[in-house]
């Protein structure tokens, strides 16, 4: 009888271990922010760029100006808006100068770009996509969680390419706006 009980216990433990390994990595119950893994092909964003945004803290100004001009962008793929963080060739990690941001929309072609707007190519990559719920002024707390907690606790490391925020259909919900933060990772 003890052998049957022990055998049954071992089978249950093996099934539990197998199930833990078989479940795809996704949001864990203890994680306060939901996330998923995605691959994204190369895409082009047209919009307004701000240089040294980590130093100058002028994101709100560029967003306000962009919102006034966004309808002038031809060949947009959707109504989705993007905030893309990227490193320029002048990047200095000590001062954070050269860390730039472009607010824009994805386009199918770069023909007839409005004056004053820039074109930025986002390379194909593997991403972990975090859902930020709530006001945009709380997004820095989500980034603190991503880089200060989540990256430290997982085997994933950030890739050296663009990070972007996606302001899509889920952002337009007044009760619970969601911004997707796409962080490139090394697989």
Q: How confident is residue 56, by pLDDT bands cut at 50, 70 and 90? A: low
Domain 35-186 CATH assignment equals 3.40.50.300: no
52-56 own/partner pairs: CB under 8 Å, 24+ apart: 52/96, 52/97, 52/98, 52/99, 52/100, 53/85, 53/99, 53/100, 53/101, 54/96, 54/99, 55/95, 55/96, 55/97, 55/99
Task: Please tell me the pTM assigned to this model.
Answer: 0.80
The domain locations on the chain are: 35-186
According to the model, what pLDDT value does residue 24 have?
38
- The answer to whether residue 10 scores a pLDDT higher than 60 is no
């Amino acid at each position: 009888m003890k052998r049957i009980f022990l055998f049954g216990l071992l089978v249950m433990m093996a099934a539990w271990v197998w199930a833990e390994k078989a479940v795809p990595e996704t949001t864990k119950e203890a994680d306060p922010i939901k996330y998923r893994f995605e691959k994204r092909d190369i895409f082009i964003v047209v919009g307004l760029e701000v240089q040294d945004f980590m130093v100058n803290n002028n994101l709100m100004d560029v967003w306000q100006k962009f919102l006034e001009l966004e309808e002038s962008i031809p060949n947009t793929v959707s109504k989705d808006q993007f905030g893309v963080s990227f490193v320029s060739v002048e990047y200095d990690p000590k001062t954070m100068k050269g860390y730039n941001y472009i607010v824009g929309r994805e386009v199918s072609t770069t023909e007839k770009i409005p004056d004053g707007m820039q074109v930025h190519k986002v390379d194909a990559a593997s991403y972990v996509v975090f859902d930020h719920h709530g006001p945009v002024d709380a997004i820095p707390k989500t980034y603190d969680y991503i880089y200060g907690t989540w990256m430290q606790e997982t085997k994933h490391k950030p890739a050296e390419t663009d990070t972007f925020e996606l302001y899509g259909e889920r952002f337009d919900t007044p009760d619970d706006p969601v911004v997707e933060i796409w962080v490139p990772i090394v697989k």
